[in-house]
Chain A
Amino acid sequence: MRLPESLSRLIYNAIPSHLVGEILTKRWADNLVPFLLLAAVIAIFGTAINGFFAPASLLDTTRQLGEFLIVVIGLTIVMLGGGIDLSVGSIYALSVFMSVVGIYLWELPASLALVLAIATGGLCGAFNGVLIGYLRLRAFLTTLVTLIMGRSLYDILIIAWGRELQMSPVLNDRFDYIGTGSLGGLPVSILIAGVFALLAHVLLSRSRLGWHISAVGGSRRSAYNAGIPVRRTVFLTYVISGLSAGIAGFLFAARLSGAGPGTGSGLELAALTAAVVGGNSLGGGRGSIAKGLMGAVAVLTMTNGLIRLGYGTGSNQLVLGFMLAFAVVLDIRWAKNRHKVLAEVYVAPVHHRMSGDESALPNGGGAYALNDRLSDASPIALGEVEGPEDVILDEDGNLYAGTRHGEIVRWFAPDYRRSEVFAHIGGFPLGLAMDHDGAIKTCVGAMGLYSIAKDGEVTRLSTETNRSWASVVDDARLRDPNDCDIGPDGRIWFTDSTTRYDAHDWVLDSIESRPTGRLLVYDPKTGKTKTVRDGLRYANGVCLAHDGRSILIAESWACSVHRYWIDGPKAGSMECLIADMPGYPDNINRASDGCYWMAWLGVRTPTFDLSLRHPGFRKRMTRRLPGDDWLFPNINTGGVIKFDETGRIVGTLGDLTGKSHPMVTSMREHKGELFVGGILNNRIGRFRIPGADSEWTSWKSYWSGKTPPVAEGDPSQAARRRDSAETALPEGRA
């Protein structure tokens, strides 16, 4: 390998550049910018102000933070639901007033004053909620108006009652303690705010209402169509915001033991700035309590810091205005371009040098040379079936295949002209395997492992595996389950082709060529799935060896077949059986003569092999060219390869016309015939294998003699079933 190529391999394979894209897909990645901003603000003001970190100073700051944080949390919840609440400033002021009146004029205990404050806030919030949720007014202007109304009301009240409040002789120790006391070194208000934040977080992330709020904010129309009571949800967000302002007002009243003319004025701008600076999206859908918390600390630190640094009137507004505009622009540009950034950085190809000089060229000599024999295959369900990735037959000779429409269709023996929907699954069924009781196990694309009993009943077996500790993307999820087979003990071995891409993006996975495919095993006794092997380049076909002691695994983008031992002295180890084939292997199945059939979904090309050695080229290709112009594995010519237990190639079947079976993803031998499926094909091929055992079936090779015959497998019953199937049509006509 020449130096530049070694260098490029070092750069692209050793640096985990794929993590950048994976981190960007995470919701928490949004928090990075506000977090850095917060750190910067604290660093700047911490160094600029003497004694910023002194306990007394921090205590005072956190006391204010408690009130402010509660207001910001309320606003965050409203914003998450797609609204905005500017009236928090006057709701806050009114609640302060009611708390003070409760304590000093009506001489209520602190708890009742709190209830009074919360009720005030809740009522005001409900007023907003009715206007915006039910009457569907514009949130911004409406709350702006209720802000003025509340403020005018407060001015009227404070002028009417202010003097009496000033003169009140009442002393309420508990009230004063809430305002000025500490518990374990922390002010009471910040403790309350902490509890409140925790509750709000649980509400948003774990409760039905919280999910509804996110849904409504994310897309009002979709939420409505999903049956979520949109108006009530919006209404409730404003009530929550009002309640929050009420609690915060009570804390403020306790801290200052009074209310003045300017109480809470300008709070709405500060709270709004805090919520937006924290990264809560305008217009809803994206936001969290953590974001609100970061924004609140940043804004409060900044506004308090400016005052303590001696900047005069107006500098607060200056900074708030600037921060608000800046944060909103950032938020909107990010929301708009996030997917572009993601698309730019997500595909991270690695260097991969393919070897092997065997060719599949027809007449080229060599074991892999393709021929034209498969073009003789007679079609089943021509034009009726879409995408039979895998095919399987039962003992009665009935043929089953998954289709792109999310169904498993059954064609009836012997001529396969009549068909019925055997089971509807909802996802694209890929690999199939038949259990000893005749149930079909299938890997459903993007969903998981499913079982379909003989009567057509669908059971979900597994949709997740164990999560590996260092994974960034959720690799517990089965992203691309592809093929399965059943071990002698009933465990189901199956592959998950990649953890990086969804099934329909397999082209990107091939271009990236990053080994993330896995071999998984589902244990029916425990119902658990675990990962037994990872690091495969698109793990694909799985087949239990004839002796039942190992399984064969096809690794598509590495053009290899591996043997994984499940029994015997080498159990748990994997060895390479066939390497460097000239084609990309797909499913593998047993043949009647003790060999194996392997489908090729396509053949290697020198151009793509070369491009695999140039990851930079492939990266540029995916960024600069439209998908149609990408170089990716040739899937126009595939075929069927037969190999023996030692990995020696003993035969090939191809369709050089490219008309019947250009791409083959599966084949199944049954009573001397080979049934051929292709995920992009519109037919199932039926090919008579010269000299094959005409009594051999796959099911018998797996199960006869190993398990006692069960009722469903009883041949006489099977015969009756076939009779009834064949007589069904005339009866139906009569």
Chain B
Amino acid sequence: MSVLKSGTLSQERIVFLFAIVLFAAYAVLLDGFLAPNNLVAILRSVSVLGILAVGMGVVVIGRGIDLSMVAVMAMATAWQLAMMNAGTSPLIATSIVLAGVVAVGIINGLLIAYAEVPPVFATLATASFVFGLVRSRFIVQDAIPVPPSASFILEFGQARLAHMPIEVVMFAVAAFLSFLTLRFTKFGRYVYYMGDNFEAARTMGIPVRPMVIGQYVVSALIAWLAGLITAAGLQSINTRVVNSTLLYDVILVVVIGGIGLSGGKGGMRNVVIGALLIGIMLNGMTILDLPNIYQNLIKATILLVALIVDSRLNPRDEQVGQQGDI
């Protein structure tokens, strides 16, 4: 929760102002930017990213990071669709994948909480492992289409609620549920305590190790949800997304929205604002017809600036900084 005094120029406010300025500039400069369809497209384009950022946000608030999200998103969905293509009933396929996704979250949590591996390394390793396992064992090509038998997925992808595409609705639901969880449940409050001061949280009796596992299970499940929504929208899932910059976009949304990487700060509002800014920016660049590789360079540069700003706003304390905290 950002408990900032009114009037101060927090990062969240800066980003929000910047989003508004960018929005206004695009509205004036770019033809068709303000068209209702384009505005919906902005939301739609950013919703999968936003859903992933919700999961990442929960983990980062608890002083972790989950680099395996995109791998889980793509590979879990691809495996599920591949099984359904091969004739497994949707219910059984979904159950198996559910178990697999929960297992990945638990493995991440075990590595981080019990083996005390830094989250970046643990999740980097599981990301590689999950991608490698599914790609080499369970699927035969990069892109897996949604099987015709699973028309409900396609229908789900086409569904609209109050004229909003289902992706946007799901983003809103995910963000709102996470907001409620973080704000009003014991689990949510504990996540903040752990992120703010892990040792103190542990000392006061919070079951930090199971909590860490819980966080990574949540982020893995949210990643899988994002994968299903992607598949529903595109009628297939392309596992090459694992090698794309999507993961860094997710971190970008979280960091630029104002959730400090040192944990304990920020909330779902930051995720929404970060996602909006990135959505507006990407949409503008797409309308400007900037090639993807240039967009990547620009995004990476912005992320770098965001990291610098983050390190200035949330300086790490050298005195208590853990050795090997890299």
Contacts and interface: CB of A to CB of B under 8 A. Distances in A.
Nearest to B132: A318
B130 A265 contact: no
B303 A155 contact: no
B311 A152 contact: no
Interface string A123-145: 00000000100011111111011
Interface string B136-149: 11000000000000
A506 to B, nearest CB: 32
Contact of B318 (A144, A145, A221, A329): A221
Which of B124, B296, B316 has most A Cβ within 10 Å? B124
Contacts of A83: 326
Interface string B182-209: 0000000000000000000000000000
Given A148-B248, A318-B136, A282 B301 contact: no
B132 A332 contact: no
A20 to B, nearest CB: 25
B132 A333 contact: no
Interface string B286-326: 00000001101101110110011001000010110001111
B243 interface: yes
A486 to B, nearest CB: 48
Given A135-B311, A136-B316, A320 B132 contact: yes
A318 B133 contact: yes
Contact of A265 (B121, B126, B243): B243
A84 B121 CA distance: 11
Nearest to A144: B248
B106 to A, nearest CB: 13
B120 A148 contact: no
Contacts of B319: 221
A137 B135 contact: no
A264 to B, nearest CB: 13
A152 B244 CA distance: 11
Interface residues of B, number: 47
Nearest to A311: B136
Interface stretch (B18-26, B111-119, B269-277): B111-119
Contacts of B308: 131, 135, 137
B129 interface: yes
B180 interface: no
Given A137-B311, A283-B323, A156 B132 contact: no
Nearest to A136: B311
Contacts of B134: 314
Contacts of A314: 131-137
A324 B261 contact: no
A324 B121 contact: yes
Contacts of A322: 125, 129
B300 A148 contact: yes
B115 A317 contact: no
A146 interface: yes
Nearest to B294: A156
For the residues of B in contact with A, the DSSP-based class is: helix
A525 interface: no
A219 interface: yes
Nearest to B315: A136
A480 B40 CA distance: 79
A317 B111 contact: no
Contacts of A324: 121, 124-125, 128
Given A315-B132, A325-B129, A283 B326 contact: yes
A336 B116 contact: yes
A127 to B, nearest CB: 10
Contacts of B121: 276, 282, 324-325, 328
A83 to B, nearest CB: 6
A313 interface: yes
B293 A269 contact: no
Given A145-B300, A311-B136, A317-B131, A137 B125 contact: no
Interface in A146-166: 146, 148-149, 151-153, 155-156, 159
Interface string A444-479: 000000000000000000000000000000000000
A317 B124 contact: no
Contacts of A242: none
Interface in A275-314: 276, 281-284, 311-314
Most chain A beta-carbon contacts within 10 A, residue among B121, B131, B311: B121
Contact of A321 (B115, B120, B130): B130
Given A145-B248, A314-B134, A321-B127, 11 more contacts: A136-B311, A141-B307, A155-B293, A283-B323, A314-B133, A317-B135, A320-B128, A321-B128, A321-B132, A324-B121, A333-B116
Which 7 pairs of residues, A with B, have the shortest CB-CB distance? A283-B324, A318-B132, A314-B135, A321-B129, A321-B128, A317-B132, A314-B136
21 contacts: A82-B323, A82-B324, A137-B308, A137-B311, A148-B303, A152-B293, A152-B296, A155-B293, A269-B124, A314-B135, A314-B136, A314-B137, A318-B128, A321-B130, A324-B124, A329-B111, A329-B115, A329-B117, A332-B117, A333-B116, A336-B116
